[in-house]
């Protein structure tokens, strides 16, 4: 149990103990809104909100909306009659406790030397929510002890969930930093020819990175729905595979994001070809939802290996298999086979769906060309570029009434 020490700002101690990365002002605004939104969505929900803001006007709209909910609200900002001592100085907080959930967010801009960034303490649905509540309670002239009994915080610690939430806050802060850097670089654009060339390269590449991220995040969303539907089933193979797919897709998306930060972002290692293909098929199957598609594989040598950047190679392979699935209207077959060609491994992805018209076959790898109604025209272009960075080659072998075949030719280890 937290003990009150006269004249001691123990809330700031919580910030130092948790040792999080500095949090941007925009991320703080987002966290405050996210903590209060559930109350607005369920205005009949009873509970308590404790807050201390240096600039109450900034959150005046949110605070007014609290008046239309069933929660009790206590203001600990400077000048409040319920403050015993002015020991918190620049430390600010928002504490929410209801029958459904609890959250404690403490932050202080004076803990960091970087302007508009604050040190923070954040906790969701944990028995340790009592710590910050009791620190606040001891500096309150009113008796608010009944709330922690009426709305008991979760008895678990929920370490993994809280670690994940703090990672989201870190990502929000990094996004803010990157936006600031982008503005600085834009201002410097007219001052440096070299910088102009570099920014032109990054801007053009970002379109392709965004395309890849959208592909992978769509996999995350679809598999998340599968987990939600089957989560009550223990030892469910579909759920296990879905979790693996989400983790792999997130890894691929992270690798694509790194392309925005580095001109040469690849990590070539030795990988078994069969394992890569099986992973790619597992990731891609979600695109066949609603279609009757048979997936087949045929490996000339199951022990063959290649040098590849796993995330990037999988991204390209998934994109090619996805295209094969989309070429099939209702039912059909998608196959992936390998063969040895001297010192190279040939990976052929084929389907028996709608063929690619002869007159456009020479254009499909061109930047911006697409035959899809809502296509961006950069999928196959990105695949070829990505594979070339790994010293592999992508070609259309054939597309006729029988089948369409794409080949990846890559050096064998």
Task: Say whether both 169 and 295 belong to one domain.
Answer: no
- Stretch 14-18: mean pLDDT: 91
Whether 202 is covered by a domain: the verdict is no
Residues 6+ apart with CB under 8 A from 34: none
Query: Could you tell me the CATH number of the domain that includes residue 338?
Result: 3.30.565.10
For residue 18, being part of any structural domain is answered with yes
Q: Which of 173, 201, 233 is the last residue of a domain?
A: 173
Q: What is the pLDDT of residues 234-263, one digit of tens each?
A: 566 677 777 778 878 877 877 776 666 555
403 and 275 assigned to the same domain: yes
Lowest mean per-residue pLDDT among 186-200, 335-349, 369-383: 186-200
Is residue 20 included in any domain, yes or no? yes
3-state secondary structure the chain: CCCCCCCCCHHHHHHHHHCCCCEEHHHHHHHHHHHHHHHHHCCCCEEEEEEECCCHHHHHHHHHHHCCCEEEEEECCCCCCCECCCCCCCCEEEEEEECCCEEEEEEEHHHCCCCCEEEEEEEECCCCHHHHHHHHHHCECCCCCHHHHHCCCCCCCCHHHHHHHHHHHHHHHHHHHHHHHHHHHHHCHHHCHHHHHHHHHHHHHHHHHHHHHHHHHHHHHHHHHHHHHHCCCCCCHHHHHHHHHHHHHHHHHHHHHHCCCCCCCCCCEEEEHHHHHHHHHHHHHHHHCCCEEEEEEEECCCCCEEEECHHHHHHHHHHHHHHHHHHCCCEEEEEEEEEEECCEEEEEEEECCCCCCHHHCCCCCCCCCCCCCCCCCCHHHHHHHHHHHCCEEEEEEEECCCCEEEEEEEEEC
Average confidence score pLDDT of the chain = 83
Question: Which residues face 269 on adjacent strands?
Answer: 308
Same structural domain for residues 277 and 162?
Answer: no
Same-domain status, 277 and 158: no
Are 59 and 166 part of one and the same domain?
yes
Residue 190 has a pLDDT of: 52
In terms of pLDDT, which residue wins out, 197 or 275?
A: 275
Taking the CA atoms of 366, 371, 374 and 380 in sequence, report the sign of the dihedral they define: negative
| 262: in domain | no
Residue with token string 């070809």 = 273
Q: Identify the domain boundary among 173, 206, 236.
A: 173
Residue 4 has pLDDT above 50, yes or no: no
pLDDT at 388 over 50: yes
Query: Are the beta carbons of 209 and 252 closer than 8 angstroms?
Result: no
What is the model's pTM?
0.49
Among the residue ranges 12-26, 236-250, 347-361, the one predicted with the least confidence is 236-250
Of the pLDDT bands very low, low, confident and very high (cuts 50, 70, 90), residue 176 is low
Residue 403 belongs to some domain of the structure = yes
Tokens of 242: 């879905």
139-169 tens-digit pLDDT:
999 999 999 889 887 777 777 777 777 877 7
**274 and 148 assigned to the same domain:** no
Convert the pLDDT of each residue in 309-351 to its tens digit.
998 999 999 999 999 999 999 999 999 999 999 889 999 999 9
In a domain, 251, yes or no: no
* Residue 228 neighbours by CB distance under 10 Å: 11
pLDDT at 247 (0 to 100): 79
Sign of CA dihedral 56, 57, 62, 67: positive
Domain with 106 in it: 10-173
Of 145, 173, 201, the residue that ends a domain is 173
- Two tokens, residue 373: 């109604």
Of the chain, the percentage scoring pLDDT greater than 90 comes to 45
Asked if residue 279 lies in contact with residue 297, where contact means CB atoms within 8 angstroms, the answer is no
Mean pLDDT value of segment 107-116: 88
Number of domains in the chain: 2
> Do 166 and 273 belong together in one domain?
no
**Does residue 188 have a pLDDT over 60?**
no
Exposed, middle or buried: residue 96 (CB in 10 Å: 0-12, 13-18, 19+)? buried
pLDDT at 172 over 80: no
CA distance 67 to 52: 17
What is the per-residue pLDDT for 26? Answer: 84
Is 98 within a domain?
yes
- 14 and 140 belong to one structural domain: yes
Residue 146 sits in the same domain as residue 281: no
Q: How far does the chain reach from its first CA to its final CA, in angstroms?
A: 60
Are 33 and 156 in the same domain?
A: yes
In a domain, 307, yes or no: yes
Q: Which residues pair with 297 in a beta bridge?
A: 336
Q: What is the pLDDT of residue 2?
A: 40
**pLDDT in the model for residue 123:** 93
């Amino acid at each position: 149990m937290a003990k009150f020490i006269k004249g001691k700002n123990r809330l700031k101690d919580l910030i130092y103990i948790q040792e999080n990365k500095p949090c941007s002002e925009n991320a703080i605004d987002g966290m405050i809104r996210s903590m209060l939104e559930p109350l607005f969505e369920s205005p009949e929900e009873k509970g308590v909100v404790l807050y201390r803001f240096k600039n109450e006007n900034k959150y005046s709209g949110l605070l007014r909306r609290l008046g239309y909910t069933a929660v009790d609200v206590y203001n600990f900002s400077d000048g409040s009659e319920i403050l015993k001592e002015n020991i918190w100085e620049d430390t600010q907080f928002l504490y929410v406790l209801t029958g459904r959930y609890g959250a404690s967010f403490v932050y202080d801009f004076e803990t960091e030397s970087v302007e508009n960034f604050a040190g923070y303490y954040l906790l969701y649905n944990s028995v340790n929510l009592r710590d910050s509540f009791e620190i606040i309670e001891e500096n309150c002239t009113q008796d608010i002890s009944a709330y922690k009994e009426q709305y008991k915080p979760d008895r678990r610690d929920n370490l993994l969930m809280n670690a994940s939430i703090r990672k989201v806050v870190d990502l929000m802060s990094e996004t803010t930093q990157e936006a600031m850097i982008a503005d600085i670089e834009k201002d410097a654009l007219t001052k440096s020819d070299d910088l102009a060339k570099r920014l032109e390269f990054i801007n053009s590449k970002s379109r392709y990175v965004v395309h890849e991220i959208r592909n992978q995040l769509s996999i995350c969303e679809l598999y998340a729905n599968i987990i939600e539907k089957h989560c009550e089933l223990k030892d469910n193979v579909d759920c296990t595979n879905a979790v693996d797919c989400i983790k792999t897709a997130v890894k691929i998306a992270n690798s694509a994001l790194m392309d925005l930060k580095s001109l040469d972002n690849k990590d070539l290692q030795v990988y078994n070809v069969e394992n890569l293909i099986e992973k790619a098929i597992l990731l891609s199957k979600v695109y066949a939802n609603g279609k009757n598609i048979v997936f087949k594989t045929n490996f000339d040598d199951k022990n063959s290996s290649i040098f590849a950047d796993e995330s990037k190679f999988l991204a390209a392979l998934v994109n090619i298999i996805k295209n094969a699935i989309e070429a099939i209207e209702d039912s059909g077959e998608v196959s992936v086979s390998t063969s040895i060609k001297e010192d190279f491994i040939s990976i052929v992805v084929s389907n028996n769906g709608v063929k690619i018209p002869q007159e456009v076959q020479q254009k499909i790898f061109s930047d911006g060309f697409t035959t899809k109604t809502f296509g961006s025209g950069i999928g196959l272009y990105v695949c070829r570029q990505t594979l070339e960075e790994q010293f592999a080659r992508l070609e259309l072998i054939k597309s006729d009434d029988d089948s369409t075949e794409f080949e990846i030719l890559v050096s064998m280890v």
